[in-house]
A and B are shown apart, each in its own frame.
Chain A
Amino acid sequence: MNRRRIPWLYFTVPRNFYWLVQRLVPLIWAVAAVLAVAGLYVGFFVAPPDYQQGNSYRIMFIHVPTAWMGMFLYALMAVYAVIFLAWRIKMADVMARSLAPTGALMTALSLWTGALWGAPTWGTYWVWDARLTSTLLLLFLFLGYMALYAAIDDREKGARAAALLALIGVINVPVIYFSVEWWHTLHQGMSISPSGGASMAPSMLAALLLGTGACWAYCAAVTLRRAQTELLEREDSTGWTRTVSTDDAPPAPRGVAVPTGRRN
């Protein structure tokens, strides 16, 4: 295609993407580790106990980032689904498929940590209020996407069906986000909102944002790694995958024949 006119399509070429990720992922892991250590330190040792809940509120430093990531990853997956359905860009499908398991993990973690917090605070692990129910639906959408993709033998057909499901389910994301505003829920309202700022102490907010950064970096790292694996599997018949070894080999410059066999 006209790659010279639109240079940002360069990384939609599997081989170029593979080597970009190969270089990026160690950096992203480092960012995740630093932010996680900083976030946990601030969360456990700097942020003070809450005036009502004492120490149990600290679970929100994991609960809120994972809940946000669940919604964010689903929205991202839907964006890739649109790109795949409209432009038929193969890499968009690879990215959408790679996001789903991590999104499911984040959503499951937010439900689980929420239940652990709900038991002492509300007096119940689970209620069927709008926020909790729509978040459970988000988990099922992630799992449904993965199941639908895997259930159809023809990869292209499976990819399209799953992308369509991802797209339909994206309606649920704003419903989750605004559920606490639209209906009476047991779940409390937004502590951090675009309009109202944050109703918590600065050190609590710092721990929350550091945790969010750590979660984001973790999700980016594992998703990109999964996309790499998916590419190696799909592109098995093409030449470039054979240049990949466990060592970091540089990408072959354009116009130069791709060497085959392991590089040592």
Chain B
Amino acid sequence: MKKRHKRLTIILGALAGLAIATALVLNAMRDSMVFFVTPSEVMAMSEMPERSFRIGGLVEQGSVERDQNSADVVFHVTDTDKSVVVTYSGILPDLFREGQGVVAEGRIDSNGTFHANKVMARHDEEYMPAEAQEAIERAGHPPDAGEGY
């Protein structure tokens, strides 16, 4: 075995070991590396977490209620299976709308209502011209915004 081949073998072997170690660590930390949990995951928890966390999903169609006199808003976050009631007071991002992705940060109370102190819109990976979207709606096939969850 030539010296450079030996060096190459050592390098590639070490790299393979490192890759496996990284994969194992990331797999072990799977739960703490998610940016948000889904409503189904919240429902599946044995007890509600007391600390602040993030909940993500879609804003349920027809669930948004805005208070006329303040910036208070109530909506449901759904993953099309379970849904959670979220209350928020403040300015919502431009992309916040029914049927679109959303991530809310805050605490959940004992009744299962989520009190958000921050709301972020989550965009999906679809990009299309406005005309194409209108054509799809005319044809009666709304694009399923739920993809990617």
A interface vs B, CB < 8 Å?
48-53, 57, 60, 82, 85-88, 120-124, 127-130, 167-168, 170-171, 175, 182-186, 188-191, 199-201, 204
Contact = CB atoms under 8 A, between A and B. Distances in A.
Given A53-B95, A189-B125, 15 more contacts: A50-B129, A50-B130, A51-B130, A87-B8, A88-B4, A120-B93, A120-B94, A122-B120, A122-B123, A123-B95, A123-B118, A129-B35, A184-B36, A184-B56, A188-B122
A87 B148 contact: no
Given A88-B4, A121-B93, A168-B18, A127 B126 contact: no
B93 A167 contact: no
Contacts of A88: 4
A57 B139 CA distance: 25
B4, B26, B92, B94, most chain A CB atoms within 10 A: B94
B125 A188 contact: yes
Contact of B34 (A60, A170, A184): A184
Nearest to B137: A51
B95 to A, nearest CB: 5
A56 B52 CA distance: 31
Contacts of B34: 130, 183-184
B125 A86 contact: no
A250 to B, nearest CB: 34
A55 to B, nearest CB: 11
Given A88-B4, A121-B93, A121-B94, A185 B35 contact: yes
A86 B6 CA distance: 8
A127 B132 contact: no
Interface string B61-81: 000000000000000000000
Interface of B: 4-5, 7-8, 11-12, 15, 18-19, 22, 26, 30, 33-38, 56, 91-96, 100, 103, 118-133, 148
A199 B125 contact: yes
A167 B103 contact: no
Contacts of A85: 7, 11
Nearest to B127: A200
Nearest to B100: A52
A50 B7 contact: no
Determine the main DSSP class of A at the interface with B.
Answer: loop
A50 B127 contact: yes
A167 to B, nearest CB: 6
Contacts of B5: 86
A201 B56 contact: no
Contact of B92 (A51, A82, A123, A186): A123
A121 to B, nearest CB: 5
9 contacts: A52-B95, A82-B11, A87-B4, A88-B4, A122-B93, A175-B26, A183-B33, A191-B127, A200-B127
B34, B119, B121, most chain A CB atoms within 10 A: B121
A87, A130, A183, most chain B CB atoms within 10 A: A183
Given A48-B130, A50-B128, A183-B35, A86 B26 contact: no
A200 B126 contact: yes
Contacts of B133: 51
B35 A130 contact: yes
B103 to A, nearest CB: 6
Contacts of B94: 53, 120-121, 123
Contacts of B35: 127-130, 183-186
B132 A51 contact: yes
Contact of B127 (A127, A189, A199): A199
Given A52-B100, A120-B94, A171 B8 contact: no
Contacts of A188: 122-125, 148
